Copies of this chain bind each other. A is one copy, B any other.
């Protein structure tokens, strides 16, 4: 059979247009989950073997094995297998399952630190090569940083910057490889190259020309890599197995050569379903085999590992790699994009049990078929392993029904957008800088401009607002320029050729900033306005503690004033961000997302005027405070909390608004069916209401306490923490304590 036999449509045939191919060929599925098949025998065997390896890995603190002296490239390793004869989809990052590759391009010190901190020896020759002869991203960044940038970083008013790790979050459209084969993609890139620039060689044109050449070289390398596994990927995939395999090879090239923080695979379900459906229709495969291949693909995504440093693990706890896989969503023509393969992918959480990776993300809308919404709610409740994003907002704001999520909540149009990831600024700490005239409350260093501090026994609201604006002005400028340095150097020293090879040459680039501590900043403003906050100063006159005398409105309780205040902060900061020059004239965005760095941020942040205690974790992402400050916390239940979050203006936070919620099963209803229905109804309402994202956990705090005490009983307990899921036992004790202290709603 010819590779395109039976496919409809023309536009996608002559130039790269995967979306057009999908729209012309996919089969919407409106039924329920009754067609699904259990795990195949091969799946059982492979999964058993993998679980053994995971167990070894767990015993060795998350590191099964590490390379020490093979700088990872697309072609650096021999082929590797779990159990070769059982695998329908093949390909590992290195030659051994779970072995972590050596990736020095981001920074040789980090690569060496990852080795040494995990008990491996660093290699002198590699150290010499990547110090004396080959400069790395990290060195480049620090060569250009200003003292102010270093101070802001050291004092953690800006934290988690991708200057010591790969920025990630770039999703190649790996489907292109399956649909077109690599030769066509190389030819298209060569055509692009001939049209980059109008002959006038401005710096940006020269840079782009070099990048496209790098992409072409990467494509050739991928072709070579595939031959190691016995595949010729020159031509398009001819059947479902090849389609899955080709797509995975594209992704594999990325994770072989790049260790970005988030290495997402994008939106592949409707695309792959077209091939699966064709094979099913032609009687080439059975449903059991379809599920087998999907299970095997997902198993591969569960195996992705990167060598990390302890500092990195503190920021992003539980070894996440964000192999985010987006499913479902609506089409602009009113059909949903739900296919049987969207079910199959969710079903992997049953066939192989819950798992943090891939980071399964449902692009949700109340317009999705009820069968799918119900099934997804069921899986969410059962596994606490999936997340939901508002597909109606995505389509409206990104102008496409082919969006995917990178990392946790960052939207990107497949093949057309890339993101410059930028970590986050701590706006809770900024509140304290506003009060203390730019002096850090923990280190006592003058980090911000030498503004006048606020004096007086209590805080004047109007005075505070002016000062807070001044600090945000300063912070936004410094932050964006710090990121400008980072992304310039990342492009220079650690360019992601294999990912960008699967994208348009002319990209839309977003410049993603981020905000930490929105709820604490909001509550602090409300406290200053309404709480008559008394200031306590240390011997140097530095404000170090705050005592609100009166109750005040807080964010997370559906209070109009507090929620409007959160939106004001967001809008003001974003406006300042937008004023700045951004690298490659990228489009500035921001996110309300902390991942698990909320713990690190909180540790670095002193007492806040809302009554939150110094050192306590910030609430993650856009979550309301769950701290025990006298007047704090979600007091009005799940729906009130969701309402507050839903009011946050997505147009001001187009990099996403993360919301993680834990619901006591009993709060959802008394039996499973009721719980599933209620959860689905809650989500329908929340997303219709403008909520952007929901991480759903369904369990009790008691379960976590038991898992904390008896980890051996819960090897696979998976929970959503903040835009991603982790195995509970892989969290640090600190992170476990934070998760346990979070609100578990026992009522709606």
Contact = CB atoms under 8 A, between A and B. Distances in A.
A183 interface: no
Contact of A201 (B130, B134, B207, B484): B484
Given A73-B132, A134-B133, A484-B206, A199 B146 contact: yes
Interface stretch (A159-167, A209-217, A277-285, A612-620): A209-217
Interface in A119-169: 129-130, 132-134, 140, 142-148
Contact of A129 (B134, B143, B200): B134
A142 B216 CA distance: 13
B478 A210 contact: no
Contact of A209 (B132, B143, B204, B207): B143
A477 interface: yes
Given A144-B213, A147-B194, A214-B143, A206 B485 contact: yes
A481 B134 contact: no
A629 interface: no
Contacts of A481: 199-201
B210 A144 contact: yes
Contacts of A203: 203-204, 488, 583
B71 A581 contact: no
A144 B207 CA distance: 8
Nearest to A105: B133
Which of A194, A203, A213 has its CB near the most chain B CB atoms (within 10 A)? A203
Nearest to A148: B199
Nearest to A213: B143
Contacts of A452: none
Interface in A57-94: 71, 73
8 contacts: A129-B133, A143-B209, A143-B210, A144-B206, A144-B209, A146-B194, A146-B199, A492-B492
A1 interface: no
A596 to B, nearest CB: 29
Contacts of A396: none
A272 B644 CA distance: 76
A148 B194 CA distance: 10
Contacts of A709: none
A147 B193 CA distance: 10
Given A71-B133, A200-B481, A492-B492, 9 more contacts: A71-B132, A133-B134, A143-B214, A146-B194, A146-B197, A148-B199, A201-B482, A201-B583, A210-B489
Interface string A467-496: 000000000011001101100110010000
Contacts of A206: 144, 484-485, 488-489
A668 to B, nearest CB: 49
A207 B492 CA distance: 10
Contacts of A200: 477, 481, 580-581
B477 A199 contact: yes
A144 B200 CA distance: 12
Interface in A187-225: 194, 197, 199-204, 206-207, 209-210, 213-214
Interface string A694-734: 00000000000000000000000000000000000000000
